Structure 1
Amino acid sequence: MDGILVINKPCGMTSFDVIARLRKKYKQKKFGHTGTLDPNASGVLVVLCGRATKALQFLENSDKTYIAQMKLGQSTTTDDIWGETEQEKPVVPITDLQAVLDTFVGKQSQLVPKTSAKKIAGKKLYEYQRAGKEVPEVYADIEIYSAKVLDESEMKFEISCSSGTYIRSICRDIALKTGNVGMMTALQRIEAGGFTIEQAEELDAPEHTLYPLESAFEPMEHVEYEPFADILNGRKIECDAKQDRIAVMHEGKIAAVYERDHDNVFRSKRGLW
């Protein structure tokens, strides 16, 4: 079983739980996912299986789209409803949530949550917190491509962003920008790696649609190259590709990922046969 599954991860399960269930269902060990969803989040989890797991490193940093909901008046240790309360304060009404969201669109440096897995001095931030130590401030470079309000009264919005963006941090920062404290109350990922929530199938479905690995590499420039023996042996190749990273194809299947070495010379990054 080689290819891609698109699972609608339910709330209350870790991404690893999903992988464990799939391994048991299909009696196969080689599974991996392209981006973790928190246990309390739901939505698109792109799962690679079999030979496709070799491509994991090229698909982990894909852009994503989420639907989030937030609440004002309370902040927590995790920046979401599942953490311990840190502060409560009277709500300052937000009269135009869309205008506030618009200020977040673009490239920025985001303060990651204290409970994230980001590492400082070899230790994850949540490990500092659990040990009762002061949590260092860590910032990540991200980009918000678009943000739109879905329900003003419920503070529900859709956001498209680069990989590594923390939506709960955005909820926290929306609150702070408007003189409030706040937290995320719900999160659903509706798009990841080019796959949408409409394609996502329930984990307990009798069978799952198996997408070919090539479907995840559609945005990457495809190059047919001969002799194919050069690709199998990981040799450098010459081609007139425009992108610095290319998918080398053979008989309609992706065989390897190459990246520019210099000029029109490309070196093998990973064989995928």
Structure 2
Amino acid sequence: MRSAVSSGILLVDKPQGITSHDVVARTRRLAGTRRVGHAGTLDPMATGLLILGVNSSTRLLTFLVGQDKEYVATIRLGQTTSTDDAEGDPVVTADPDTVAAVDDGSIASGIQALTGAISQVPSSVSAIKVDGKRAYALVRAGEDVVLKPRPVTISTFELLARREVGGFLDLDVRVECTSGTYIRALARDLGASLGVGGHLTALRRTRIGPFTVADAPALENLDVAASLIGPADAASVLFPTLTLTEQAATDLGHGKRIDATGLGTIPEPGDDGLYAAVDPARRLVGLVRVTDGVAKSAVNFPPDEPEQNTSTEAAAE
């Protein structure tokens, strides 16, 4: 028998070659609970930060998915692929002399054109749903999929290094962007603008909102209980905090509105107008909104109850 851990957020450094669901499945076994979810899928080729929620803290994942993200990546100029990354089949390969002629100024101009608020067409093999089906599933079934462009913001698109590799030109880059941005699409579009084609050969997510991969243990070294960030601590990183009295915490937990004017200075609200409301023992009671000095719960966080019969096999389902 394996006892279930309490609620919290986990930062995990995902290795290459496995899916985000594989990480969730392993964490379920380690944590002894099936209530594990993740915020933001990483492709099997990608490595880096994956944020997991355990037990009631899965409710926080909704507020993590939309956070800005940071990546370091390698873009290969000189070849397009069927998936816009190294996992796809080569489609068009440019003449090596043409690739070698691409100069730093042209690369800088191409990167600048893809920086800021842009309209991006996601990769056709993305997980976006088309008529209820994943785009990648339709592509694998032989259908021609063209997705609609969507607005994204690339706040940073920085060239770190360039090198010639076997007739191609590899660019190491750092990207900071809004949620929903496809780095594969940036590689594809940069290559297209330079007339040589391009695709992604490496991708590592280094940040989601305020959380960084530097604080994330590798999956093979993951100690769930030791690595859990408590719900109150995680929510207080994401939102300004209101510290409740015991009575206010009880009332809020019962769905009542509470007078926030007696809780001290009320800071400016966070995203979606939310505050993290914690009790005197630093338990997260909920996320609240304050209007005219009255706080009302938007999301409740009841105490986690231990699961029964949390065997390794049952938790892995």
TM-score, structure 2 length as denominator? 0.79
1:164 partner SS: coil
Q: Secondary structure of 1:102's partner? A: helix
Which of 66, 77, 80 does residue 72 from structure 1 map onto?
Answer: 77
- Tell me, in whole angstroms, the C-alpha distance in 1 between the residues paired with 2:142 and 2:298: 42
Residues in 1 aligned to 2:222 and 2:207: alpha-carbon distance in whole angstroms? 23
Letter matched to residue 11 of structure 2: V
Measure, in 2, the Cα distance between the counterparts of 1:93 and 1:122: 41
Greater Cα radius of gyration, structure 1 or 2: 2
What is the Cα deviation at residue 61 of structure 1?
A: 1.3
Please tell me the root mean square deviation across aligned C-alpha atoms, in Å: 2.1
> More displaced, 137-146 or 239-248?
239-248
Match of 1:93 among 102, 107, 122: 102
Cα distance in 2 between the residues matched to 1:131 and 1:123: 11
* Distance in structure 2 (CA, Å) of the matches to 1:59 and 1:151: 31
Q: Write out aligned runs for 1:231-250 (5 A).
A: 231-237=252-258, 239=260, 242-243=268-269, 244-250=273-279
Q: Secondary structure at the match of 2:56?
A: helix
Mapped contact 2:249–2:278 kept (Cα < 8 A):
no
Displacement of 1:237: 4.5
Contact 2:276 2:288 survives alignment (8 Å): yes
Match of 1:190 among 167, 185, 206: 206
Q: Which has the higher helix share?
A: 2
Query: 2:310 maps to which residue?
Result: none
Question: What SS does the aligned partner of 2:214 have?
Answer: coil
Q: Which letter maps to 2:111?
A: L
Counterpart pick for 1:222 among 220, 234, 241:
241
- Structure 1 residue 102 and structure 2 residue 112: aligned? yes
Instruction: Return the offset for 1:40.
Output: 0.7
Q: 1:182 to 1:24 in 2, by over 3 A?
A: same
- The question of whether the paired residues in 1 share the 8 Å contact of 2:67 and 2:179 is answered with yes
Deviation at 1:33, TM superposition (A): 1.2
- Residues 119-268 of structure 1 aligned to structure 2 (within 5 Å): 119-153=129-163, 154-205=170-221, 207-208=223-224, 209-217=227-235, 218-225=237-244, 227-237=248-258, 239=260, 242-243=268-269, 244-251=273-280, 252-259=282-289, 267-268=296-297
Instruction: Work out whether 1:20 is the aligned partner of 2:36.
Output: no
- Report the CA distance between 1:65 and its aligned residue: 0.7
State the alpha-carbon separation in 2 of the partners of residues 137 and 53 from structure 1. Answer: 30
CA contact (8 A) 2:232 2:276 kept: no
Deviations 1:91-146 (A, max 9, x none): 25142334432332212221000001112222221232122222132222211121
Cα distance in structure 2, aligned partners of 1:135 and 1:248: 45
CA contact (8 A) 1:44 1:192 kept: yes
Which sections of structure 1, spanning at least 5 residues, go unmatched? none
Q: Amino acid of the residue matched to residue 151 of structure 2? A: D
* 1:152 aligned counterpart, secondary structure: strand
After TM superposition, give the deviation of residue 225 of structure 1 in Å.
4.1
Q: Give secondary structure in 2 for the equivalent of 1:204.
A: helix
- Structure 1 distance, partners of 2:278, 2:9, is 18
Write the deviation string for residues 223-264 of structure 1: whole angstroms up to 9, x where unpaired. Answer: 23452233112234564553212222222332111246x655
Moved over 6 A (4+): none
Q: Which has the higher strand share?
A: 1
Deviation at 1:161, TM superposition (A): 1.0
1:188 CA displacement: 0.6
Percent identity, aligned pairs only, is 31
Which amino acid counterpart does residue 9 of structure 2 have in structure 1? I
Please tell me the residue identity of whatever aligns with 2:31.
Y
Distance 1:146 1:216 in 2: 26
Secondary structure of residue in 2 paired with 1:115: coil
Whole-angstrom distance in 2 between the partners of 1:176 and 1:35 = 27
What corresponds to 1:50 in structure 2? 55
8 Å contact kept, 1:7–1:201: yes
Q: Distance in 1 between matches of 2:222 and 2:208?
A: 23
TM-score normalised by L of structure 1: 0.90
Kept in 2: contact 1:247–1:254 (CA 8 A): yes
Q: What is the one-letter code of the residue matched to 1:118?
A: I
